[in-house]
Each structure stands twice: as C-alpha cells, then as structure tokens.
Amino acid sequence: MGRRLVAGGRFSLEVEVIGPVLDEALEHDRADEVLKCALIAALSVLAQDGPWPDALLQAMTTFMTDMKGTLRQDGLT
C-alpha cells in the first residue's frame, strides 16, 4: 500500500493506494505536481458551481478516453 501527503498552500491531501501500478504512480517524480493540479481544479469548479463541475468532468472524460486510445494503439494495455 502506497501513501503520499501532498501540501499546497491552503490545502493538504493524503493519498493512499493499493497495488503495484498505483504505488509506482505515487512514486513518480511529478506526482505532487499532478495531484496538486487535480485537487486545485476539483476544488475550484466545486467552489464556482454552475456549469464548471460538468465542464471539468467532460474534459477529464475526453482526456482519459484519448489516453486509453493511445495506450491501446501503442500496445501498452
């Protein structure tokens, strides 16, 4: 089980994962940077409400779909 504490100004986040793939992801040299960005985006859209939560979810869905397609194309899945 991997665990990481990420702190950034007005927030801190503790992430706990299970499994070797996610453990390795938490050890990535840019893990703090990516986790901070994701958390700031999530908190920002939730604070603004309106269309922003749906807009972020749609952007994330598009990103994940594109990434999945690239991984399949490269034979990494």
| Whether the model pTM is above 0.85 | no
Cα(17)–Cα(1) distance, rounded to whole angstroms?
6
> Where are the chain's structural domains?
2-73
Cα(15)–Cα(35) distance, rounded to whole angstroms?
9
Closest CA to 54 of 36, 42, 40: 42
Residue pLDDT, tens place only, 6-61: 998 889 999 999 999 999 999 999 999 999 999 999 999 999 989 999 999 999 99
